[in-house]
Amino acid sequence: MPLWGSIRFQDCYYHIGEYLGLFHEGVMCLIIFILSVVMYGLGWVFCSGRRFRYLREAQAVETAWTIIPRVCLVCVAIPSMHLLYVIDEIGRPKFCFKAIGHQWF
Show the DSSP H helices in 1-105 as ranges: 15-47, 59-88
Type of residue at 24: H
94 lies in some domain = no
User: Is 8 a member of any domain?
Assistant: no
pLDDT for 59-97, tens place per residue?
888 898 899 999 999 999 999 999 998 888 777 878 888
| Burial (Cβ within 10 Å: 0-12, 13-18, ≥19) of residue 27 | middle
User: Has residue 25 been placed in a domain?
Assistant: yes
List, as one string, the DSSP characters of 13-38: SSHHHHHHHHHHHHHHHHHHHHHHHH
Single-letter amino acid, residue 77:
A
Residue 105 domain-assigned? Answer: no
- Give yes or no for residue 1 having a pLDDT over 70: no
Is there a domain that residue 101 lies in?
A: no
Any idea what DSSP says for residue 49?
T
Residue 100 within any structural domain of the chain: no
Q: Note whether residue 63 is domain-resident.
A: yes
6 in a structural domain: no
Question: pLDDT tens digit string along 3-38?
Answer: 787 777 777 888 888 898 889 999 999 999 999 999
| The total number of structural domains that make up the chain | 1
